[in-house]
């Protein structure tokens, strides 16, 4: 039985960001260079536009450093609290 390292949570970077910290957070999670992640995202945007949709989805669904929930989860919780 091998000891597996503790799983790192995927979070948007609060420090290494140009727009929303998505690329910085993904690069940290994958332990790779942030420039490589940014180039891949840019290529996906330019080639077929899927990169933009994926980036926006990641921005809404991945929590930022220091937060427990994503933007989307926060919006949903706010709407549910207003209904009560």
**Which residue segment(s) compose the domain that 27 sits in?**
22-83
Write down the pLDDT at residue 3: 65
CA atoms within 13 A on the CB side of 16: 17
Neighbours of 42 (CB within 10 A): 13
Q: Considering the domain boundaries, does residue 64 fall inside one?
A: yes
Kindly state whether residue 17 falls inside one of the protein's structural domains. Answer: no
83 vs 52, more confident: 52
Q: Is residue 38 part of a domain?
A: yes
Q: Is residue 69 part of a domain?
A: yes
Question: Do 58 and 26 form a contact (C-beta atoms < 8 A)?
Answer: yes
Q: Is residue 60 part of a domain?
A: yes
Residue whose structure tokens are 């000891």 = 3
**In a domain? residue 47:** yes
Q: How far apart are CA 34 and CA 23, in angstroms?
A: 6
Q: In sequence order, what are the beta bridge partners of 64?
A: 12
Chain segment 21-80, per-residue pLDDT in tens:
999 999 999 999 999 999 999 999 999 888 899 999 999 999 999 988 999 998 998 888
Q: What is the pTM of this model?
A: 0.81
């Amino acid at each position: 039985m091998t000891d597996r390292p503790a799983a790192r949570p995927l979070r948007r970077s609060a420090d290494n960001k140009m727009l929303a910290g998505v690329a910085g957070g993904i690069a940290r999670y994958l332990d790779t260079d942030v420039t490589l992640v940014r180039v891949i995202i840019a290529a996906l945007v330019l080639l077929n536009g899927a990169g933009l949709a994926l980036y926006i989805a990641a921005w809404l669904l991945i929590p930022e450093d220091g937060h427990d929930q994503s933007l989307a989860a926060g919006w949903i919780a706010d709407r549910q609290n207003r209904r009560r």
